[in-house]
Structure 1
Amino acid sequence: MGFSMGMGIQWDPPTSRGTFLHPEIYREPGILSGYRPPRSSVSQCLLSIFHMNNETLNVWTHLGPAGYLLWLLVSHLRALGADPGAGPFLLYLGTCALYPLASGAAHALGALGGAGRHRAYCCDYGALSLYGLGSVLAYSAYSFPPEWLGSTFHHFYLPVAVINSALSTGLSCYSRFLDAERPCLSKASRTLAFVYPYIFDSIPVFYRLSRCVSGGCSEGSLPLHSRHSVCALLTFLSFTSRLPERLAPGSFDLVGENSGE
């Protein structure tokens, strides 16, 4: 049964499986219950994040880090704002805060009707692309191999990344229109839109890592880059395989949801 949450808004907590009939695009493999009512209003979507459903943890694990990163950005702006060499770092930190904020908002609004839902996730994809550009700025300023500085690749690195970012956002947004009729093509297109820019953006870091593996080095930042690469690989595997929820459908309904990404 629904209950009033103030202002006359009714919200039905997802207490049992099969409570609502959902179009296929609102469902995820291995997630059987906990869905919010499809085609909810903006108010219902926002109020729903304060009640347990299969997007609650997803939203708050994005918004929490976004708040911390915003605080970190403000702190560094006060400390480094007058340092011209800190510009790329501050822009990168800003995109780090923007991406989880946009992603959390997209997941919070993921139960909207078709057009609103797609717009929310397209904003999420755009923020992800901006995060990629922030990474490119930081890599170009601080992480380029010394022997590549001033090279043709260095000169074209940022312009190509901007083009990749625009194409990635367009392709990932377009893939949403394929969800219902061609879900496999939609998933493949979205995966390509995420993976290719990441690989291109990370070429300087991959080169430095490979050079250290083959010849050894003592650069202090490389362990951090290594962990970042491993986390990116794990994210890719989770996104493409939908594990662990595929292994035990229904067991990860409140912690395994990642819809619309």
Structure 2
Amino acid sequence: MPRRLQPRGAGSRGPPAATAAASEAGPRPHPSAAAAAAAAAEPLAPAKPLLRWDEVPDDFVECFILSGYRRLPCTAQECLASVLKPTNETLNFWTHFIPLLLFLSKFCRLFFLSGRDVPFHHPWLLPLWCYASGVLLTFAMSCTAHVFSCLSLRLRAAFFYLDYASISYYGFGSTVAYYYYLLPGLSLLDARVMTPYVQQRLGWHVDCTRLIAAYRALVLPVAFVLAVACTVACCKSRTDWCSYPFALRTFVFVMPLSMACPIMLESWLFDLRGENPTLFVHFYRRYFWLVVAAFFNVSKIPERIHPGLFDIIGHSHQLFHIFTFLSIYDQVYYVEEGLRQFLEAPPAAPTFSGTVGYMLLLVLCLGLVIRKFLNNAESCSKK
């Protein structure tokens, strides 16, 4: 069992002699007045001290973070108050709460203040609703997990399972936005362009119509399966068998991003920089930010170099949050550009079942995954 610190006392009362002298000096005040006076005379209870890594359960210990841990268990009020105190979770919260507010403002402008003739409930905007819900849920769930992770061990696991599920939800929502707003405008996925290109460059007499149709039919189902599989893998990474949990989580978070491969191929095979410079610049800058974020998440730099120096400010998870925000910031810009081009000549109206219906089904599947892992954790703790 981890070693616990004993709670500090609230202060001792006066000695018996002083109490007796006070009682002989005059009549006793009313009990309620005496209690109020005693409470006012007592010093305020000091705030609970932060703990070191060897004073908290193993599940709470972060690699190379030696101090700044909150006491377990905390109340919900103490958890909320901790966002204004220097702990090793404080900036983990703020580096996602501030982006949450920025993206909330951005999506409100897109849906309600954009000046378009399309109302916010139009079917053409359903993919954007899926994408926006994924972005906002990811940041909101991350904030919640980092703030309330010290309520109890079980709730800590539950919050981080939900955090992993929200990232998978966001990844699938991104694919829905790509599918309707970005992929239809690619020459790569136009059989009338791709078939002559293959015949001219490779000499193959192949009709690409069926291949492209099969790809379009499989994009959303494959992305759906990947979202569920990634959540399962991330939840498993919190178990004892996983030796490199951060590397595993980083890898499975990157897998749903493979749905954007057609954009990368478009830039290699066709003149994406000339045809759509906004998409080209923001797309590649987004992936640069993602590579940097993955580097910090896996390497645990800078705290690996000097353990204890970056416990409160500057450790790798805070940097991971910042570069993740920058990557999504660029993604929002090119999704918005894809929406603008889609509205100029929409190929087909998105359906409710192909957008929101998929997202609701994914929520159900992810909920079942989390429930299974929580039940397994509870049964293991009872053995």
- Shorter-chain TM band: 0.7 to 0.9
Which of 52, 55, 67 is residue 86 of structure 2 equivalent to? 52
Deviation at 1:257, TM superposition (A): 5.8
- One-letter code aligned to 1:28: E
Does the 8 Å contact 2:172/2:256 carry over to 1? no
TM-score (normalised: structure 2): 0.59
1:57-68 counterparts in 2 under 5 A? 57-68=91-102
Does the 8 Å contact 1:34/1:253 carry over to 2? yes
Kindly, what percent of the aligned residue pairs are identical?
A: 26
Q: Please tell me whether residue 141 in structure 1 is matched to residue 180 in structure 2.
A: yes
TM-score (normalised: structure 1): 0.84
Q: Deviations over 1:209-244 (max 9, x none)?
A: 33368x963422110001110111111111111111
How many residues matched?
A: 250
Secondary structure at 1:128 match in 2? helix
1:106-185 counterparts in 2 under 5 A? 106-144=145-183, 145-148=186-189, 151-178=213-240, 182-185=241-244
Q: Deviations over 1:107-152 (max 9, x none)?
A: 1122232210010011111111111011101111122223325521
Deviation at 1:20, TM superposition (A): 6.7
Deviation at 1:103, TM superposition (A): 0.5
Change (3 A) 1:9 1:41: farther
Partner of 1:203: 261
Partner of 1:241: 299
- One-letter code aligned to 1:12: K
- One-letter code aligned to 1:152: A
Q: More displaced, 146-155 or 128-137?
A: 146-155
Q: More displaced, 73-82 or 232-241?
A: 73-82
Q: Which has the higher contact order (CA 8 A, sep 6+)?
A: 1
Unaligned runs of 5+ in 2: 1-6, 11-43, 114-118, 191-211, 322-383
- One-letter code aligned to 2:48: D
Q: Deviations over 1:136-188 (max 9, x none)?
A: 0111112222332552112110111011111111221122123xxx3515444
Change (3 A) 1:40 1:106: same
Structure 2: distance between partners of 1:136 and 1:3: 55
Change (3 A) 1:19 1:94: closer
Q: CA RMSD in A?
A: 2.9
Deviation at 1:77, TM superposition (A): 2.3
Q: Please tell me whether residue 258 in structure 1 is matched to residue 299 in structure 2.
A: no
Does the 8 Å contact 1:39/1:113 carry over to 2? yes
Unaligned runs of 5+ in 1: none
- One-letter code aligned to 2:252: A
Secondary structure at 1:63 match in 2? helix
Does the 8 Å contact 1:96/1:131 carry over to 2? yes
